[in-house]
Structure 1
Protein backbone atom coordinates (compact mmCIF):
# COMPACT_ATOMS: atom_id res chain seq x y z
CA UNK A 1 0.00 0.00 0.00
CA UNK A 2 2.02 2.98 -1.28
CA UNK A 3 0.17 5.52 0.86
CA UNK A 4 1.45 3.91 4.04
CA UNK A 5 4.75 5.33 5.37
CA UNK A 6 7.75 3.63 3.79
CA UNK A 7 10.59 5.53 5.49
CA UNK A 8 10.11 5.91 9.25
CA UNK A 9 12.38 7.55 11.80
CA UNK A 10 11.83 6.40 15.41
CA UNK A 11 13.13 8.84 18.00
CA UNK A 12 12.54 6.50 20.96
CA UNK A 13 13.33 2.85 21.45
CA UNK A 14 9.82 1.50 22.05
CA UNK A 15 8.54 2.15 18.51
CA UNK A 16 11.66 0.48 17.12
CA UNK A 17 10.90 -2.52 19.31
CA UNK A 18 7.32 -2.65 18.05
CA UNK A 19 8.17 -2.34 14.36
CA UNK A 20 10.71 -5.15 14.65
CA UNK A 21 8.18 -7.28 16.53
CA UNK A 22 5.68 -6.69 13.71
CA UNK A 23 8.23 -7.63 11.03
CA UNK A 24 8.17 -4.07 9.66
CA UNK A 25 11.76 -3.12 10.48
CA UNK A 26 12.61 -2.49 6.81
CA UNK A 27 10.57 0.70 7.02
CA UNK A 28 12.91 2.15 9.67
CA UNK A 29 15.50 4.51 8.17
CA UNK A 30 16.69 6.20 11.38
CA UNK A 31 16.69 5.71 15.14
CA UNK A 32 17.63 7.48 18.34
CA UNK A 33 21.11 6.92 19.71
CA UNK A 34 19.41 5.73 22.90
CA UNK A 35 17.70 2.81 21.17
CA UNK A 36 18.45 -0.47 22.92
CA UNK A 37 15.73 -2.83 21.71
CA UNK A 38 16.11 -4.94 19.75
CA UNK A 39 19.93 -5.03 19.96
CA UNK A 40 20.34 -5.56 16.21
CA UNK A 41 18.68 -2.21 15.50
CA UNK A 42 21.79 -0.41 16.73
CA UNK A 43 23.85 -2.29 14.16
CA UNK A 44 21.40 -2.08 11.27
CA UNK A 45 19.92 1.41 11.50
CA UNK A 46 21.55 4.86 11.32
CA UNK A 47 21.43 6.92 14.49
CA UNK A 48 20.03 10.31 13.55
CA UNK A 49 19.20 11.91 16.90
CA UNK A 50 19.80 11.57 20.63
CA UNK A 51 16.61 11.95 22.68
CA UNK A 52 15.98 15.66 23.13
CA UNK A 53 19.01 16.98 21.27
CA UNK A 54 20.54 16.53 17.85
CA UNK A 55 20.84 17.91 14.35
CA UNK A 56 17.55 18.02 12.43
CA UNK A 57 19.54 17.85 9.20
CA UNK A 58 20.55 14.28 10.06
CA UNK A 59 16.90 13.34 10.26
CA UNK A 60 16.03 15.13 7.04
CA UNK A 61 18.99 13.48 5.27
CA UNK A 62 17.36 10.03 5.49
CA UNK A 63 14.23 11.44 3.81
CA UNK A 64 11.58 10.15 6.21
CA UNK A 65 7.91 10.21 5.32
CA UNK A 66 7.00 9.74 9.01
CA UNK A 67 8.75 10.49 12.29
CA UNK A 68 7.55 8.91 15.54
CA UNK A 69 8.23 10.97 18.67
CA UNK A 70 7.44 10.62 22.37
CA UNK A 71 5.83 13.06 24.81
CA UNK A 72 6.39 16.74 25.47
CA UNK A 73 10.11 16.03 25.88
CA UNK A 74 10.37 15.88 22.09
CA UNK A 75 7.88 18.66 21.38
CA UNK A 76 10.55 21.03 20.05
CA UNK A 77 11.95 18.58 17.52
CA UNK A 78 8.42 17.61 16.48
CA UNK A 79 7.66 21.29 15.84
CA UNK A 80 10.82 21.76 13.80
CA UNK A 81 10.13 18.66 11.72
CA UNK A 82 6.58 19.77 11.01
CA UNK A 83 7.90 23.17 9.92
CA UNK A 84 10.27 21.31 7.58
CA UNK A 85 7.30 19.54 6.00
CA UNK A 86 7.71 16.15 7.66
CA UNK A 87 4.74 14.15 8.98
CA UNK A 88 5.08 13.54 12.73
CA UNK A 89 3.10 11.26 15.01
CA UNK A 90 3.67 12.09 18.68
CA UNK A 91 2.98 9.26 21.11
CA UNK A 92 2.57 9.82 24.84
CA UNK A 93 2.44 6.55 26.78
CA UNK A 94 1.89 6.94 30.51
CA UNK A 95 0.09 3.75 31.55
CA UNK A 96 0.01 0.05 30.73
CA UNK A 97 -3.10 0.63 28.63
CA UNK A 98 -1.24 3.41 26.80
CA UNK A 99 1.56 0.97 25.96
CA UNK A 100 -0.92 -1.50 24.48
CA UNK A 101 -2.68 1.28 22.58
CA UNK A 102 0.65 2.48 21.17
CA UNK A 103 1.33 -0.98 19.73
CA UNK A 104 -2.07 -1.01 18.03
CA UNK A 105 -1.53 2.53 16.71
CA UNK A 106 1.88 1.75 15.23
CA UNK A 107 0.40 -1.38 13.68
CA UNK A 108 -2.33 0.66 12.00
CA UNK A 109 0.18 3.22 10.74
CA UNK A 110 2.08 0.54 8.82
CA UNK A 111 -0.84 -1.65 7.76
CA UNK A 112 -0.02 -4.43 10.25
CA UNK A 113 -3.08 -4.12 12.46
CA UNK A 114 -3.72 -7.87 12.76
CA UNK A 115 -0.13 -8.56 13.83
CA UNK A 116 -0.29 -5.67 16.29
CA UNK A 117 -3.48 -6.99 17.83
CA UNK A 118 -1.89 -10.43 18.14
CA UNK A 119 1.10 -8.87 19.93
CA UNK A 120 -1.22 -7.00 22.27
CA UNK A 121 -3.25 -10.16 22.93
CA UNK A 122 -0.09 -11.97 23.96
CA UNK A 123 0.87 -9.19 26.37
CA UNK A 124 -2.66 -9.07 27.77
CA UNK A 125 -2.51 -12.82 28.39
CA UNK A 126 0.78 -12.35 30.23
CA UNK A 127 -0.77 -9.61 32.36
CA UNK A 128 -3.78 -11.80 33.18
CA UNK A 129 -1.53 -14.72 34.10
CA UNK A 130 0.65 -12.51 36.31
CA UNK A 131 -2.39 -11.02 38.03
CA UNK A 132 -3.86 -14.47 38.72
CA UNK A 133 -0.55 -15.69 40.14
CA UNK A 134 -0.25 -12.57 42.29
CA UNK A 135 -3.74 -13.05 43.68
CA UNK A 136 -2.79 -16.55 44.82
CA UNK A 137 0.27 -15.20 46.61
CA UNK A 138 -1.77 -12.42 48.22
CA UNK A 139 -4.32 -14.96 49.45
CA UNK A 140 -1.54 -17.14 50.90
CA UNK A 141 0.20 -14.25 52.65
CA UNK A 142 -2.91 -12.27 53.52
CA UNK A 143 -1.55 -8.99 52.22
CA UNK A 144 0.31 -7.13 49.50
CA UNK A 145 3.95 -6.19 50.14
CA UNK A 146 4.56 -2.45 50.28
CA UNK A 147 6.92 -1.27 47.53
CA UNK A 148 8.89 1.93 47.01
CA UNK A 149 10.00 2.35 43.40
CA UNK A 150 12.82 4.87 42.94
CA UNK A 151 13.38 6.29 39.46
CA UNK A 152 16.15 8.67 40.54
CA UNK A 153 18.23 9.27 43.65
CA UNK A 154 19.10 12.98 43.68
CA UNK A 155 16.53 14.37 44.05
CA UNK A 156 14.41 11.39 44.99
CA UNK A 157 11.87 10.61 42.25
CA UNK A 158 9.32 7.85 42.73
CA UNK A 159 7.88 5.60 40.05
CA UNK A 160 6.02 6.44 36.86
CA UNK A 161 2.45 5.35 36.31
CA UNK A 162 3.12 2.23 34.24
CA UNK A 163 5.73 1.02 36.74
CA UNK A 164 3.25 1.59 39.56
CA UNK A 165 0.56 -0.31 37.65
CA UNK A 166 2.91 -3.23 36.97
CA UNK A 167 3.74 -3.38 40.69
CA UNK A 168 0.01 -3.63 41.41
CA UNK A 169 -0.46 -6.34 38.76
CA UNK A 170 2.43 -8.30 40.32
CA UNK A 171 0.70 -8.13 43.70
CA UNK A 172 2.47 -5.24 45.36
CA UNK A 173 1.27 -1.97 46.84
CA UNK A 174 3.10 1.08 45.51
CA UNK A 175 3.53 3.36 48.52
CA UNK A 176 3.37 6.41 46.24
CA UNK A 177 0.71 5.20 43.82
CA UNK A 178 -1.14 8.52 43.83
CA UNK A 179 1.98 10.43 42.85
CA UNK A 180 2.61 7.95 40.04
CA UNK A 181 -0.41 9.28 38.20
CA UNK A 182 1.36 12.57 37.54
CA UNK A 183 3.37 12.71 34.29
CA UNK A 184 5.67 15.36 35.80
CA UNK A 185 8.73 14.26 37.72
CA UNK A 186 8.48 17.32 39.95
CA UNK A 187 5.23 15.89 41.32
CA UNK A 188 6.94 12.60 42.15
CA UNK A 189 9.56 13.82 44.61
CA UNK A 190 8.99 12.37 48.06
CA UNK A 191 11.12 13.60 50.92
CA UNK A 192 13.38 11.08 52.66
CA UNK A 193 11.13 11.43 55.69
CA UNK A 194 8.08 10.45 53.61
CA UNK A 195 9.81 7.31 52.40
CA UNK A 196 10.78 6.40 55.96
CA UNK A 197 7.20 6.97 57.12
CA UNK A 198 5.85 4.83 54.28
CA UNK A 199 7.89 1.89 55.61
CA UNK A 200 8.22 -0.05 52.35
CA UNK A 201 9.12 -3.71 52.67
CA UNK A 202 10.72 -3.74 49.22
CA UNK A 203 12.70 -1.03 47.42
CA UNK A 204 13.11 -1.28 43.66
CA UNK A 205 15.63 1.04 42.06
CA UNK A 206 15.76 1.91 38.38
CA UNK A 207 18.01 4.92 38.10
CA UNK A 208 17.73 6.03 34.50
CA UNK A 209 21.13 5.76 32.85
CA UNK A 210 23.13 4.49 35.84
CA UNK A 211 23.31 1.50 38.14
CA UNK A 212 21.17 1.33 41.28
CA UNK A 213 23.39 1.31 44.39
CA UNK A 214 21.65 -0.37 47.37
CA UNK A 215 24.54 0.48 49.68
CA UNK A 216 23.98 4.18 49.04
CA UNK A 217 20.30 3.78 49.81
CA UNK A 218 21.10 1.95 53.05
CA UNK A 219 23.51 4.72 54.07
CA UNK A 220 20.87 7.47 53.91
CA UNK A 221 20.25 8.98 57.36
CA UNK A 222 17.36 7.28 59.12
CA UNK A 223 16.74 4.74 56.36
CA UNK A 224 18.02 1.87 58.49
CA UNK A 225 14.55 1.92 60.06
CA UNK A 226 12.89 1.03 56.75
CA UNK A 227 11.98 -2.68 56.60
CA UNK A 228 13.31 -3.01 53.04
CA UNK A 229 16.68 -1.70 54.19
CA UNK A 230 17.09 -3.63 57.41
CA UNK A 231 15.93 -6.82 55.69
CA UNK A 232 18.12 -6.17 52.62
CA UNK A 233 15.21 -6.31 50.19
CA UNK A 234 16.54 -3.75 47.73
CA UNK A 235 16.57 -4.71 44.06
CA UNK A 236 17.43 -3.22 40.69
CA UNK A 237 15.43 -3.49 37.50
CA UNK A 238 17.35 -1.93 34.64
CA UNK A 239 15.83 1.26 33.30
CA UNK A 240 16.01 -0.08 29.73
CA UNK A 241 13.41 -2.63 30.81
CA UNK A 242 11.02 -1.03 33.28
CA UNK A 243 11.30 2.64 32.29
CA UNK A 244 10.70 1.97 28.59
CA UNK A 245 7.00 2.37 27.77
CA UNK A 246 7.01 -0.45 25.25
CA UNK A 247 6.41 -4.22 25.16
CA UNK A 248 9.56 -4.93 27.19
CA UNK A 249 8.09 -3.31 30.31
CA UNK A 250 5.44 -6.01 30.30
CA UNK A 251 7.22 -8.97 28.73
CA UNK A 252 10.37 -8.68 30.88
CA UNK A 253 9.58 -6.13 33.57
CA UNK A 254 6.52 -7.90 34.92
CA UNK A 255 8.22 -11.31 35.46
CA UNK A 256 11.08 -9.53 37.25
CA UNK A 257 8.60 -7.81 39.55
CA UNK A 258 6.96 -11.14 40.34
CA UNK A 259 10.34 -12.64 41.22
CA UNK A 260 11.15 -9.70 43.49
CA UNK A 261 7.81 -9.57 45.27
CA UNK A 262 7.41 -13.32 45.71
CA UNK A 263 10.98 -14.72 45.71
CA UNK A 264 10.26 -18.12 47.24
CA UNK A 265 7.13 -18.90 45.25
CA UNK A 266 7.77 -17.89 41.60
Structure 2
Protein backbone atom coordinates (compact mmCIF):
# COMPACT_ATOMS: atom_id res chain seq x y z
CA UNK A 1 0.00 0.00 0.00
CA UNK A 2 1.28 3.46 -0.92
CA UNK A 3 1.98 5.69 2.04
CA UNK A 4 -0.51 8.48 2.74
CA UNK A 5 1.08 11.86 1.89
CA UNK A 6 1.77 14.04 4.91
CA UNK A 7 -0.17 17.26 5.32
CA UNK A 8 2.95 19.29 4.50
CA UNK A 9 3.52 17.31 1.31
CA UNK A 10 -0.08 17.82 0.23
CA UNK A 11 0.21 21.54 0.91
CA UNK A 12 3.39 21.77 -1.16
CA UNK A 13 1.74 19.95 -4.03
CA UNK A 14 -1.27 22.25 -3.92
CA UNK A 15 1.00 25.30 -3.81
CA UNK A 16 2.94 24.07 -6.84
CA UNK A 17 -0.32 23.40 -8.69
CA UNK A 18 -1.63 26.90 -7.90
CA UNK A 19 1.63 28.51 -9.03
CA UNK A 20 1.54 26.52 -12.28
CA UNK A 21 -2.09 27.46 -12.91
CA UNK A 22 -1.43 31.17 -12.31
CA UNK A 23 1.67 31.06 -14.52
CA UNK A 24 -0.16 29.31 -17.35
CA UNK A 25 -3.04 31.80 -17.15
CA UNK A 26 -0.65 34.76 -17.42
CA UNK A 27 1.22 33.15 -20.30
CA UNK A 28 -2.08 32.68 -22.13
CA UNK A 29 -3.04 36.33 -21.59
CA UNK A 30 0.29 37.60 -22.91
CA UNK A 31 0.24 35.23 -25.87
CA UNK A 32 -3.25 36.20 -27.00
CA UNK A 33 -2.79 39.97 -26.68
CA UNK A 34 -2.80 42.03 -29.89
CA UNK A 35 0.70 43.36 -30.51
CA UNK A 36 0.02 45.32 -33.70
CA UNK A 37 0.73 49.05 -33.75
CA UNK A 38 2.98 50.98 -31.40
CA UNK A 39 0.48 51.67 -28.65
CA UNK A 40 1.44 50.15 -25.30
CA UNK A 41 -1.79 50.96 -23.45
CA UNK A 42 -2.49 47.22 -23.08
CA UNK A 43 0.18 47.24 -20.37
CA UNK A 44 -1.88 49.48 -18.06
CA UNK A 45 -1.80 47.86 -14.62
CA UNK A 46 0.81 45.33 -15.74
CA UNK A 47 3.86 47.53 -16.36
CA UNK A 48 4.92 51.15 -16.06
CA UNK A 49 7.67 53.24 -17.62
CA UNK A 50 8.75 56.76 -16.78
CA UNK A 51 8.57 59.32 -19.58
CA UNK A 52 11.30 61.79 -20.59
CA UNK A 53 10.78 65.32 -19.36
CA UNK A 54 11.05 66.82 -22.86
CA UNK A 55 7.56 65.58 -23.98
CA UNK A 56 8.43 64.49 -27.48
CA UNK A 57 4.86 64.18 -28.79
CA UNK A 58 4.07 67.76 -27.74
CA UNK A 59 7.18 69.16 -29.41
CA UNK A 60 6.51 67.05 -32.51
CA UNK A 61 2.98 68.46 -32.82
CA UNK A 62 4.28 72.02 -32.54
CA UNK A 63 6.85 71.45 -35.27
CA UNK A 64 4.34 69.78 -37.58
CA UNK A 65 2.15 72.84 -37.25
CA UNK A 66 4.97 75.04 -38.61
CA UNK A 67 6.22 72.72 -41.38
CA UNK A 68 5.34 72.77 -45.07
CA UNK A 69 6.32 69.16 -45.89
CA UNK A 70 6.97 66.45 -43.28
CA UNK A 71 8.16 62.84 -43.24
CA UNK A 72 7.78 60.54 -40.23
CA UNK A 73 10.09 57.51 -40.56
CA UNK A 74 9.12 54.13 -39.06
CA UNK A 75 5.84 55.51 -37.76
CA UNK A 76 4.68 52.21 -36.24
CA UNK A 77 0.90 52.27 -36.04
CA UNK A 78 0.93 56.06 -36.40
CA UNK A 79 -0.23 56.59 -32.83
CA UNK A 80 2.32 59.24 -31.83
CA UNK A 81 2.06 61.12 -35.11
CA UNK A 82 -1.73 61.14 -34.86
CA UNK A 83 -1.56 63.12 -31.61
CA UNK A 84 -0.78 66.25 -33.65
CA UNK A 85 -3.68 68.63 -34.15
CA UNK A 86 -2.42 70.02 -37.47
CA UNK A 87 -0.36 68.54 -40.30
CA UNK A 88 1.52 70.37 -43.06
CA UNK A 89 0.09 70.45 -46.60
CA UNK A 90 2.38 67.53 -47.51
CA UNK A 91 2.61 64.91 -44.78
CA UNK A 92 4.02 61.40 -45.27
CA UNK A 93 4.85 58.49 -42.97
CA UNK A 94 6.75 55.28 -43.67
CA UNK A 95 6.42 51.86 -42.06
CA UNK A 96 7.68 48.35 -42.87
CA UNK A 97 5.63 45.90 -40.78
CA UNK A 98 2.33 45.00 -42.52
CA UNK A 99 0.11 45.01 -39.38
CA UNK A 100 1.47 48.46 -38.52
CA UNK A 101 0.99 49.69 -42.09
CA UNK A 102 -2.68 48.72 -41.92
CA UNK A 103 -3.15 50.37 -38.55
CA UNK A 104 -1.29 53.55 -39.52
CA UNK A 105 -3.26 53.82 -42.75
CA UNK A 106 -6.58 53.62 -40.92
CA UNK A 107 -5.42 56.18 -38.36
CA UNK A 108 -3.56 58.67 -40.56
CA UNK A 109 -5.21 58.64 -44.00
CA UNK A 110 -8.35 60.38 -42.71
CA UNK A 111 -6.02 63.08 -41.36
CA UNK A 112 -4.42 63.66 -44.78
CA UNK A 113 -1.18 61.79 -44.05
CA UNK A 114 0.01 59.39 -46.77
CA UNK A 115 1.40 56.10 -45.39
CA UNK A 116 4.09 54.53 -47.55
CA UNK A 117 5.25 50.92 -47.19
CA UNK A 118 9.04 51.01 -46.94
CA UNK A 119 11.59 48.33 -46.03
CA UNK A 120 13.54 50.61 -43.64
CA UNK A 121 16.60 50.30 -45.86
CA UNK A 122 18.12 52.98 -48.09
CA UNK A 123 17.18 54.66 -50.24
CA UNK A 124 14.09 56.37 -48.89
CA UNK A 125 11.46 56.40 -51.67
CA UNK A 126 11.41 60.20 -51.97
CA UNK A 127 13.15 62.87 -54.01
CA UNK A 128 16.09 64.80 -52.64
CA UNK A 129 15.23 67.95 -50.65
CA UNK A 130 11.56 66.93 -50.45
CA UNK A 131 10.92 67.78 -46.78
CA UNK A 132 11.65 70.58 -44.36
CA UNK A 133 10.89 68.33 -41.36
CA UNK A 134 11.85 64.68 -40.91
CA UNK A 135 10.88 62.96 -37.66
CA UNK A 136 10.99 59.56 -36.00
CA UNK A 137 10.19 58.07 -32.63
CA UNK A 138 12.24 55.03 -31.68
CA UNK A 139 13.50 54.05 -35.14
CA UNK A 140 15.07 50.60 -35.32
CA UNK A 141 17.62 51.88 -37.86
CA UNK A 142 18.81 55.39 -38.71
CA UNK A 143 20.16 56.06 -42.19
CA UNK A 144 21.73 59.48 -41.73
CA UNK A 145 22.82 59.96 -45.34
CA UNK A 146 19.24 59.41 -46.50
CA UNK A 147 17.83 61.75 -43.87
CA UNK A 148 20.27 64.43 -45.01
CA UNK A 149 19.39 63.79 -48.67
CA UNK A 150 15.62 64.22 -48.31
CA UNK A 151 15.91 67.30 -46.08
CA UNK A 152 15.78 70.72 -47.69
CA UNK A 153 18.57 73.19 -46.83
CA UNK A 154 17.62 74.58 -43.43
CA UNK A 155 15.39 71.56 -42.77
CA UNK A 156 15.38 69.68 -39.46
CA UNK A 157 15.51 66.10 -38.28
CA UNK A 158 13.74 65.88 -34.92
CA UNK A 159 13.53 62.51 -33.18
CA UNK A 160 13.48 60.51 -30.00
CA UNK A 161 15.80 57.52 -30.19
CA UNK A 162 16.22 54.50 -27.97
CA UNK A 163 19.57 54.77 -26.23
CA UNK A 164 22.28 52.28 -25.27
CA UNK A 165 21.55 49.20 -23.13
CA UNK A 166 17.86 50.05 -22.98
CA UNK A 167 15.85 47.47 -20.99
CA UNK A 168 18.98 45.33 -20.82
CA UNK A 169 18.05 44.02 -17.38
CA UNK A 170 15.13 42.27 -19.10
CA UNK A 171 17.05 41.32 -22.25
CA UNK A 172 19.97 39.84 -20.33
CA UNK A 173 17.60 37.91 -18.06
CA UNK A 174 16.79 35.83 -21.14
CA UNK A 175 19.98 36.06 -23.21
CA UNK A 176 22.69 36.36 -20.59
CA UNK A 177 25.32 39.14 -20.54
CA UNK A 178 25.56 41.18 -23.75
CA UNK A 179 28.67 43.35 -23.16
CA UNK A 180 29.35 44.19 -26.81
CA UNK A 181 25.74 45.19 -27.49
CA UNK A 182 25.69 47.63 -24.59
CA UNK A 183 27.51 50.33 -26.60
CA UNK A 184 25.02 50.25 -29.48
CA UNK A 185 22.83 53.34 -30.05
CA UNK A 186 25.09 55.57 -27.96
CA UNK A 187 23.99 59.20 -28.44
CA UNK A 188 27.56 60.41 -28.99
CA UNK A 189 28.02 57.88 -31.78
CA UNK A 190 24.73 58.90 -33.39
CA UNK A 191 25.63 62.58 -33.19
CA UNK A 192 28.97 61.82 -34.88
CA UNK A 193 27.15 59.88 -37.62
CA UNK A 194 24.76 62.79 -38.17
CA UNK A 195 27.67 65.20 -38.55
CA UNK A 196 29.41 62.81 -40.94
CA UNK A 197 26.29 62.96 -43.12
CA UNK A 198 26.59 66.76 -43.27
CA UNK A 199 24.06 67.68 -40.56
CA UNK A 200 24.54 70.10 -37.67
CA UNK A 201 23.51 68.68 -34.30
CA UNK A 202 21.75 71.53 -32.50
CA UNK A 203 20.27 69.62 -29.53
CA UNK A 204 21.06 66.32 -27.81
CA UNK A 205 19.49 65.28 -24.50
CA UNK A 206 19.51 61.94 -22.68
CA UNK A 207 17.35 60.23 -20.07
CA UNK A 208 17.37 56.99 -18.04
CA UNK A 209 13.85 55.87 -17.13
CA UNK A 210 12.59 53.28 -14.65
CA UNK A 211 10.49 50.36 -15.90
CA UNK A 212 8.46 48.16 -13.52
CA UNK A 213 6.95 44.91 -14.80
CA UNK A 214 4.24 43.47 -12.58
CA UNK A 215 3.56 40.10 -14.18
CA UNK A 216 4.85 37.66 -16.75
CA UNK A 217 1.96 38.38 -19.14
CA UNK A 218 3.52 41.81 -19.68
CA UNK A 219 6.89 40.16 -20.38
CA UNK A 220 5.39 37.89 -23.05
CA UNK A 221 3.56 40.85 -24.59
CA UNK A 222 6.71 42.98 -24.70
CA UNK A 223 8.92 40.27 -26.19
CA UNK A 224 6.32 39.50 -28.85
CA UNK A 225 6.00 43.19 -29.71
CA UNK A 226 9.58 44.46 -29.43
CA UNK A 227 10.95 41.52 -31.39
CA UNK A 228 14.58 42.69 -31.51
CA UNK A 229 14.96 42.53 -27.72
CA UNK A 230 15.09 38.72 -27.66
CA UNK A 231 15.34 37.61 -31.30
CA UNK A 232 13.41 34.43 -32.04
CA UNK A 233 11.46 34.65 -28.78
CA UNK A 234 8.73 32.08 -28.26
CA UNK A 235 7.05 31.01 -25.06
CA UNK A 236 8.06 27.41 -25.71
CA UNK A 237 11.73 28.29 -26.16
CA UNK A 238 11.93 30.45 -23.03
CA UNK A 239 9.32 28.81 -20.83
CA UNK A 240 11.78 27.94 -18.07
CA UNK A 241 13.11 31.50 -17.85
CA UNK A 242 9.57 32.88 -17.94
CA UNK A 243 8.71 30.65 -15.00
CA UNK A 244 11.84 31.86 -13.18
CA UNK A 245 10.72 35.45 -13.72
CA UNK A 246 7.16 34.68 -12.63
CA UNK A 247 8.45 33.18 -9.39
CA UNK A 248 10.83 36.12 -8.86
CA UNK A 249 8.00 38.64 -9.27
CA UNK A 250 5.75 36.64 -6.95
CA UNK A 251 8.52 36.49 -4.36
CA UNK A 252 10.11 39.96 -4.61
CA UNK A 253 7.68 42.28 -6.42
CA UNK A 254 7.95 44.01 -9.81
CA UNK A 255 10.86 43.25 -12.10
CA UNK A 256 12.80 46.51 -12.53
CA UNK A 257 14.62 47.55 -15.69
CA UNK A 258 15.68 50.89 -17.16
CA UNK A 259 15.07 52.31 -20.60
CA UNK A 260 17.34 54.93 -22.11
CA UNK A 261 16.24 57.63 -24.53
CA UNK A 262 17.80 60.56 -26.29
CA UNK A 263 16.25 63.53 -28.03
CA UNK A 264 18.19 64.64 -31.07
CA UNK A 265 17.70 67.65 -33.33
CA UNK A 266 19.91 67.96 -36.39
CA UNK A 267 19.70 70.58 -39.12
CA UNK A 268 20.83 70.52 -42.73
CA UNK A 269 22.86 73.68 -43.31
Q: How does the TM-score come out when normalised to structure 1?
A: 0.37
- Larger helix fraction of residues: 1
- Greater gyration radius: 2
RCO greater where, 1 or 2, for CA within 8 Å and sep 6 or more? 2
